[in-house]
Amino acid sequence: MYNSAFQELVKIAVTESDSYFSREGWEQPNPFYIGFGNPNAPLLVIGQEKAIDKDTAYGKEAMKVESTLNPYQWQKIIEEGIDDLGYVFENPTTFKNPLLPYHDKPRRGNTWNQYQLLAKKLFPELEDYPNSFFTRAFITEINHEVSKKSQGNQSNQSRKKFMSHSFFKSFPMTIIAAGNYLSDEEIGERFGVKITDAFSEQNMKLKVFENQDEKRVVLSTRQLSNFFFNRESRDAYFGKICECLQKYS
């Protein structure tokens, strides 16, 4: 069902998670959180960190099912051949599974809502139901910590090493929607790409990196929620992002 790189990544994540939580306890976000969506998709989107308030009771439960247990959920999906997007890992939140995490999320303005709009532009054939972008994309975060506010890159070495795995370099199209969390040099080093163009405007960062031999493009953009400009400007920005990605789509 999934390529060997992803299956290897899941094994590493489970082993490292076992070791980490045996030392730190289970009430922690997971540095070896893998992500959500379709691991075989053509698009990878990397955000800043999970927007979860871990100081609330619900936030603690959301952190557990979205982050702490994520590698174990993927392990079960692989071992049992689960492909039902409606499959539910029993928990007290509305989270379902890492293939399609929620029915009802996002709320208006939420980051996932912007991912949905962008994916619909990039993949016009995308089915019209909430969060359907997960069928054509895989998402993860730079930081493993969770926070309601942007933290800036925490540079956790375990997280950084984990995300250097070949799986995260296997997508023909990648968007790093994290503003200035990663420098141009870090992006080039982590993803084996070189900057080839830039179309940045105020509040609309857009830098293009490519590995032309491997037919991969990596875009560095702003964080894609909380826009401070109108719908027309946002649509133009998303259109330019799609134009840059489609070279290797």
What tokens appear for 61 in the block? 């439960």
pLDDT at position 201 is 86
Q: Name the residue range of residue 229's domain.
A: 4-248
Dihedral of alpha carbons 52, 236, 244, 204, sign:
negative
Three-class SS string for 111-156?
HHHHHHHHHHHHCCCCCCCCCHHHHCEEEEECCCCECCCCCCCCCC
pLDDT at position 107 is 54
Task: Determine contact, residues 209/163, Cβ cutoff 8 Å.
Answer: no
Please state at what angle helix 231-245 crosses helix 111-122, rounded to 10 degrees.
50
Q: What's the structural domain count of the chain? A: 1
pLDDT at position 105 is 62
Mean confidence (pLDDT) of the chain: 93
Q: What's the rounded Cα separation, in Å, for the pair 218 and 168?
A: 11
For the chain, the straight-line distance linking the first and the last C-alpha, in angstroms and rounded, comes to 21
Q: What is the pTM of this model?
A: 0.95
pLDDT at position 143 is 94
Could you tell me which residue, 118 or 150, shows the higher pLDDT? 118
* Domain at 155, CATH number: 3.40.470.10
Torsion angle (degrees, nearest 10) of CA 1, 100, 165, 191:
120
Distance of CA 23 to the CA centre of its chain: 27
Whether 228 has a pLDDT exceeding 70, the answer reads no
Using CB atoms within 10 Å of the CB of residue 154, give its burial: 0 to 12 exposed, 13 to 18 middle, 19+ buried.
middle
pLDDT at position 226 is 73
Residue 151: C-alpha distances to residues 33, 38, 50, 186, 198 (Å): 17, 27, 10, 18, 25
pLDDT band per the 50, 70, 90 thresholds, residue 230: confident
Over residues 120-124, mean pLDDT: 96
Chain segment 29-60, per-residue pLDDT in tens: 999 999 999 999 999 999 999 989 888 999 99
